Amino acid sequence: MNYHWNWHIFAQQVQGGSETYADWLAAGLGWTLACALCAWLIALALGTLAGALRTTGNRVLAGAGATWVELFRNVPLLVQMFLWFFVVPELLPRELSLWVKQDMPAKEFVTATLCLGLFTSARIAEQVRAGIQALPRGQREAALALGLTTLQCYSHILLPRALRIIIAPLTSEFMNTFKNSSVAFAIGLMELTFQARQMQEDSEQGIETYLAVTLLYFLCAIIANRAMALIEARTRVPGTPG
């Protein structure tokens, strides 16, 4: 292999600028973290809601939850990014459409985060539904028999139990959110993958660039994994196998 290795490339200045390539990757990592964490919060909130709705036994609510899930899990994430970025703004009322296209601050970030959050929420919804359905039916009856409302039954009994049950698949989903955020480069969010492509073209040191980016994604996923393991340990119910 006739490749000129240069591990010092990260400390070197970019062409025609004062910052280093490491600065580029650091900025990219920042957007990746911001996008993934915000998307995760959206996904957790909406996914829990949609998943819970599917278990209420009310046909309209269950139908709404099911529609939500099918809408966001049957279209590739990359296509969803393009839909939110290029199509949805065109469908908005004229004033709003103009504002979104021209004046909305951090347009790529907002679009990518919303898209990733909604996409992930559909997957979380299915896990939450499975978790609730895994609980004995008597738990709901016992909560209702005490006089708790359906909302209180979900918030105090069913969801705290279901979320503990599904923490393993939720951990994978949290890690996926970091990895899936790389798709946002396609609509121009200057996240890690976007910066890597830019650095590769600018420095012509593609191998070092992508090895570094691989390592950074790997670290993100591992840290996400460890964080969830910590939560799992902290929320473990005494007397149950851990």
Partner 1 sequence: MISICGVSKWYGPTRVLDDCSTEVAKGDVVVVCGPSGSGKSTLIKCVNGLEAVQRGEVIVDGVVVTAPKTDLNRLRARVGMVFQHFELFPHLSVADNLTLGQIKVLGRSRDEAIARGLKMLDRVGLAAHRDKFPAQLSGGQQQRVAIARALSMDPVCMLFDEPTSALDPEMISEVLDVMVALAEEGMTMMCVTHEMGFARRVADRVIFMDQGRIVEDCAKESFFGAPRSERAQQFLAKILQH
* CB nearer to partner 1: pick between 16 and 238: 238
- Count of C-beta atoms within a 10 Å radius of residue 128: 29
Within 170-229, the residues that bind partner 1 by CB under 8 A are none
* CB nearer to partner 1: pick between 16 and 242: 242
Q: Does the protein bind partner 1 through residue 105 (CB under 8 A)? A: no
Considering just the CA atoms, what is the radius of gyration of the chain in Å? 22
Q: Does the protein bind partner 1 through residue 157 (CB under 8 A)? A: yes
* CB nearer to partner 1: pick between 42 and 162: 162
Q: How far is CA 72 from the centre of its chain?
A: 13
Phi, psi of 13 (to 5 degrees): -75, 145
* CB nearer to partner 1: pick between 230 and 237: 237
Residue 32: CB minimum distance to partner 1, A: 34
* CB nearer to partner 1: pick between 64 and 148: 148
Q: Does the protein bind partner 1 through residue 239 (CB under 8 A)? A: yes
66 Cβ contact partners less than 8 Å away, ≥ 6 residues apart: 54
- Count of C-beta atoms within a 10 Å radius of residue 30: 14
Query: Can you tell me which of 26, 66, 100, 161 binds partner 1, judged by CB under 8 A?
Result: 161
Q: Does the protein bind partner 1 through residue 41 (CB under 8 A)? A: no
Is-contact 178 214, C-beta < 8 A? no
Query: Can you tell me which of 16, 94, 240, 242 binds partner 1, judged by CB under 8 A?
Result: 240
Q: Does the protein bind partner 1 through residue 93 (CB under 8 A)? A: no
Is-contact 85 5, C-beta < 8 A? no
Q: Where are the alpha helices (DSSP H) in the chain?
A: 21-53, 59-73, 77-82, 88-91, 94-102, 107-133, 137-145, 150-152, 159-165, 167-180, 192-203, 206-234
Is-contact 127 120, C-beta < 8 A? no
Query: Can you tell me which of 1, 60, 91, 145 binds partner 1, judged by CB under 8 A?
Result: 145
Site for partner 1 (CB under 8 A): how many residues?
22
- Which residues contribute to the site for partner 1 (CB under 8 A)? 136, 138-139, 141-149, 152, 156-157, 160-161, 164, 237-240
